[in-house]
A and B are shown apart, each in its own frame.
Chain A
Amino acid sequence: MVEKALFTILMEGVFIKNFLLIQFLGLCSFVGVTKDVKSATGMSGAVIFVMAMSSTASYLLYTYVLIPMNMEFLGLISFIVVIAALVQLVEFVVRKNIPALYRSLGIYLPLISTNCAVLGVVLLNVLYEYNFIQSVVYGTASGLGYMVVMLMMSAIRERSLLVHIPSFIRGLPQAFFIATMLSLAFVNYFWVIPL
């Protein structure tokens, strides 16, 4: 594979191949948890944290356990187990040591183990053959990209509550129309920044 600069990976994760708007990963939370800015912030914080952690853990597992034992076919199952265990562990540690953080992030943590964005970043790391540092950077960058879009989306949705629109568009269709506009903006990064 071509050696990619870390900055390139960062920009790809945050903007060019944004998880929500370009790659369509993690959409359940995108339409589900963006009704107000506060919960969107909490969810994004938890996602950044878990994405960075699971990129690290799954890289170590894949490179030092599965490949030496020729068990790459178990990759998918073991990644899921790792993510689920990690989410449990994070929940446990945060609840015990940082109660304030737990109160704001706590309810979002269980949602994350079934979030396709987290498993997606782990699988993409394997697919792109990223090394350790690259995997960690890509995981964190994807989480940041997720946060950028979640915050934009929730802020727009909060304001659009006061707008008069037909009742059959309110809710999900409206969320998708807003996403269309945001996605149009993000798609243009493909051409603006030729990487």
Chain B
Amino acid sequence: MNVVSEIIRGITRDNPIFGLVLGLCPTLAVTTSVENAIGMSAGTAFVLIFANIFVSALRKQIPSSVRLPIFIIIIATFVSIVDMIMEAYFPPMYAALGVFIPLIVVNCIIIGRAEAYANKNNVFSSFIDAVGISAGFLLVLMLIGGIREILGTGQIVTFGYTLISLPLNPAVTTMILPPGAFLTIGTLMAIVNYKKAQKRAKGG
């Protein structure tokens, strides 16, 4: 199995947002800035990687009739850990992400990967799968966060550094409000669909 191609699969074909269409709530809610997007993805990645490793390691012991409750307990344990770590060491980030850190537990991406991948594959491939999916999630969140932040505030400020500054006067404040999130993801999905249709037309 090729590690690099597995990770690329997580970013492209099995991309959690555009490929599998899972985990929409955090994607839209916390992407008001690139910084929040990175924090959210880091939390989700931690939970996804550990949940995949544990589910995969225990897959022979878990009776298949009660596997979903067991997956949820495993996931909830790691979410509680992330919740406490963030509250203790990154209080501003924790305040910005709010209720969405504990809500990682019902993020369909994690239980979806546990059920569809980790439950059937060995520990190492499950780990690689989790890394790939997390990378895909991070990139999409940063893209959406970047678009919203730059249009909404005219600049991208990440962890105290101003990355880009546009002379946007006045900035489109709507973009960092809830409608901006729907507009951004709708546009991105339309572009992805358009590219897919183009590819299909070329191939067939």
Interfacial residues, chain A to chain B (CB-CB below 8 A): 21-28, 31, 73-74, 76-77, 80, 84, 114-116, 119-120, 123-124, 127, 167-169, 171-177, 179-181, 183-184, 186-187
Docked complex: B185-203 residues within 8 A CB-CB of A: 185-187, 189-190, 193-194, 196-197
CB-based contact B186/A176 at 8 Å: yes
- Picked from A22, A77, A116, A127, the residue with its CB within 8 Å of the CB of B77 is A77
Q: Which residues of B contact A168 (CB under 8 A)?
A: 190, 193-194, 196-197
- Contact flag A28-B99 (CB < 8 Å), given A22-B178, A180-B183: no
- Contact flag A173-B186 (CB < 8 Å), given A27-B24, A31-B24, A77-B76: yes
Q: How far is the CA of A84 from the CA of B71 in the complex (A)?
A: 13
- Contact flag A116-B103 (CB < 8 Å), given A28-B24, A173-B190, A176-B183: yes
Q: Residue on B with the closest CB to A26?
A: B25
B72 at interface (Cβ–Cβ under 8 A)? yes
Q: How far is the CA of A21 from the CA of B177 in the complex (A)?
A: 10
Interface size class of B (residues with CB under 8 A): 35 or more
- Contact flag A77-B28 (CB < 8 Å), given A180-B182, A180-B186: no
B123, chain A: closest CB distance, angstroms? 24
CB-based contact A123/B183 at 8 Å: no
B179 at interface (Cβ–Cβ under 8 A)? yes
